A and B are shown apart, each in its own frame.
Chain A
Amino acid sequence: MFLPGLAWKNLSRYRKRTIITASAIAFGLATYIFMDGWLKGAEVESERNLVLYETGSSRVLTRAYWAERERMPLSSAIEDPEPVIAALREAGISAAPRTLFAGEAVVEEGSMPVRVIAIDTERDEQVFAFRQTVTEGRYLAAGEPGALLGEWLAQDLGLAVGDPLTVTTRTRSGFHQTLDLEVVGILNCPNPAINKGTLFMPLDTADTLMEMEGAVTEIDLKYRDYRAAEKMNAGLAAGALAAFPGLTVVSWKDLAADYLAISATKKGGSNVMLFLVFIIAAVGVSNTMLMTIYERIRELGMMRALGMRDRDIRRVFLLEAGGIGLIGSVAGVGLGCIANWAMVRWGIDFSVFMDMSEMDIGYRISTISHSAWNAPVIVTALAAGVLACVVVAMLPVRRALKLQITDCLRHT
């Protein structure tokens, strides 16, 4: 117990230096925990908002449609969706048919492209959660020529509830069609992709106007655990959907591949920044240990003369470095957790910024961004802080131990 005690006392010997170095580590770790918690929170919320408002857990479509999905080809729709939905229901899965097509919303001031999603007003709620997001007016009713707009789209078009809206498009047969609709509601969805450029209308109304004859472009599914989508899809492909060879089922991950790619890139970039913060902290510790050891060369010589072996000396200095790391790490984890707690509890409201700049940050968050707890990262950060300090102290200790005892004792 003598050597750990000596190491601990030495920490107070260079109090200012210890505090400064520990502060650098604390800042690095607190930043790391805060950023990681924020990114994780953004990911969790984005995933939830994707599944609840954009993709569902999975989607059934024809293979031809999936191959050309960017074009949204109505000609590759599912001709007879009801037997498919029945089979899915029998398998205990909620399913909602939808038809997706591109159009041009025309108002007095001009026009802008929109993505029209025709929904089965009753069954859609079994998969998605739009009714709760309606902020003005009401939800769609079956058979009406009504439109439900995202808030940002409504603002861009200058439309309010009760206003008429014209959408030009092409029917399934390729003929030009004009949809004369009335804005019945405006929704503010946590998913900015929906708020920005999406228009909802009743499926039966669209079926008539778009000459779909009962066909739909997709059937969206809701699983109890969307994270198990791939496994569930494999089961469906071999079971309920085996009787429909022209159809395929894709998971929310396949549907949100663009988001996942952006998210991975951002996480990689953030990790690089955090790594740099760590490097700065590590350089600080290394420098502190270098100065500490240099100032104590003669003491080191005395200790060796008195019979301390290299490993004993190394232990003392590494314990000191570990002590600095422990102080910094505990402080950093504490600060990081406090900041994270505040972000989990209250979050940051991004809606103003998103509204003003219409920026697309990739994440499916448009309102309040909350952090999430990431216990493994917090524990790892604590251990890494201590370990990093010990590792960076090794080199100066090693260099000092290469000196002859007599040179150490002569050192001034």
Chain B
Amino acid sequence: MSSSENGRGTVSVENVVKTYAAGESVVHALRGVSVQVAQGDFLSIAGPSGSGKTTLLNLVGCIDAPDSGEITIGGTRVSSMNRDALAMFRRRNLGFVFQTFNLIPVLTAAENVSFALSLLGIADREIRERTRAILAEVGLAGMEDRLPSRLSGGQQQRVAVARALVKEPSIVLADEPTANLDSDTGRAILELMRSMNEQHRTTFVFSTHDQMVMDFARRLLRLHDGAIASDERR
């Protein structure tokens, strides 16, 4: 897989500060956080509500911008990019798995997955082949033509994982990926993602407060009150 070839899956977060306005007061979401993520890491960002874990994930996912500090992904300084350049960067390099799956309801499982590839301007035939292959890989062979409404929560999240992985991104970001799933389904999804991580050396970054996700992670970064409380490798 291309993500493992040249360190495109590395992340460098340097002294990042992020604040939000909440009415008349200011919330300090991140207070000068620095963290290095290596290629192929399976990292979980944990912490209580308001600790800044989702903010950090959003910044690494280039869907939010820091007030100050630097974020570099695969050697590219993303914190200084404009809106369109960031969109193109996300399109080529990042995959997302959301807590609520966020599949497009009018598209079939296969169409939801191929949506990510179609943005890259890949030929239709290749899109079809890669889509079929990734859906088989996540255990959804034969369900390609089902609409999300005809899939269970776990199956929908598998489609979302397939959508994130099909374009062979350098990094997959997952925000509370098991929060809407029962524990068995959640475990199955995590095993799927870890297997993908091991197979393709794709970097995975989670934000979670689910103990099971923390247990699955090979690296656990704990945040507290916008600062790193611990960084534990397993």
Residues of A within 8 A of B (CB): 2-3, 6, 9-10, 12-13, 298-299, 301-302, 304-310, 312, 404-406, 409
Contacts and interface: CB of A to CB of B under 8 A. Distances in A.
Interface in B62-116: 63-64, 83-84, 87-92, 94, 96, 98, 100, 102, 104-107, 114-116
B27 interface: no
B102 A308 contact: no
Nearest to A410: B54
A10 B90 contact: no
Contacts of A312: 119
A309 B87 contact: yes
B61 interface: yes
B87 A2 contact: no
Q: Place the interface of chain B in its size category.
A: 20 to 34
Contacts of A309: 83-84, 87-88
B119 A308 contact: yes
Contact of A305 (B61, B105, B107): B61
B84 A405 contact: no
A307 B106 contact: no
Given A305-B63, A307-B87, 6 more contacts: A6-B115, A10-B106, A12-B106, A307-B89, A312-B119, A409-B102
Given A308-B119, A406-B64, A6 B104 contact: yes
A304 B63 contact: yes
B4 interface: no
Contacts, number: 67
Contacts of B107: 6, 9
Given A307-B90, A308-B87, A299 B119 contact: no
Contacts of A305: 61, 63, 90, 96
Contacts of B180: none
Contact of A306 (B91, B100, B106, B114): B91
17 contacts: A3-B118, A6-B104, A13-B106, A298-B102, A301-B63, A302-B102, A304-B87, A305-B61, A305-B96, A307-B88, A307-B89, A308-B87, A308-B91, A309-B84, A312-B119, A406-B58, A409-B98
A2 B105 contact: no
A307 B91 contact: yes
Given A6-B104, A299-B102, A299-B104, A307 B63 contact: no
Contacts of B84: 309-310
A27 B162 CA distance: 45
Contacts of A9: 106-107
10 shortest interchain CB distances as A-B pairs: A307-B91, A2-B118, A302-B102, A405-B63, A9-B106, A307-B90, A309-B87, A13-B106, A305-B96, A406-B64
A6 B63 CA distance: 23
Interface string B40-61: 0000000000000000001001
Interface string B158-196: 000001000000000001000000000000000000000
A404 B91 CA distance: 17
Contacts of A6: 104, 106-107, 115
Contact of A404 (B64, B94, B105, B116): B64
Nearest to B115: A2
A9 B108 CA distance: 11
Interface of B: 58, 61, 63-64, 83-84, 87-92, 94, 96, 98, 100, 102, 104-107, 114-116, 118-119, 163, 175
A4 to B, nearest CB: 11
A12 B163 CA distance: 23
Contacts of B100: 298
Contacts of B88: 307, 309
Nearest to A401: B83
Contacts of B83: 309-310
A299 B107 CA distance: 12
Given A404-B64, A405-B64, A307 B119 contact: yes
A305 B61 CA distance: 8
A13 B148 CA distance: 13
A298 B98 CA distance: 11
A310 B84 CA distance: 8
Contacts of B163: 306
A306 B90 contact: yes
A13 B103 CA distance: 14
Contact of B63 (A3, A298, A310, A406): A406
A9 B107 CA distance: 8
Nearest to B87: A309
A6 B104 CA distance: 9
A310 B64 CA distance: 15
Contacts of B98: 302, 409
Nearest to B104: A299
Contacts of B102: 298-299, 301-302, 409
Contacts of B104: 6, 299
Contact of B116 (A13, A298, A306): A306
A383 B64 CA distance: 40
A322 B16 CA distance: 43
A306 B96 contact: yes
Nearest to A404: B64
Most buried by A among B94, B102, B107: B102
Nearest to B83: A310
Nearest to B90: A307
Contacts of B87: 304, 307-310
A89 to B, nearest CB: 76
A98 B64 CA distance: 87
Contacts of A409: 63, 98, 102, 175
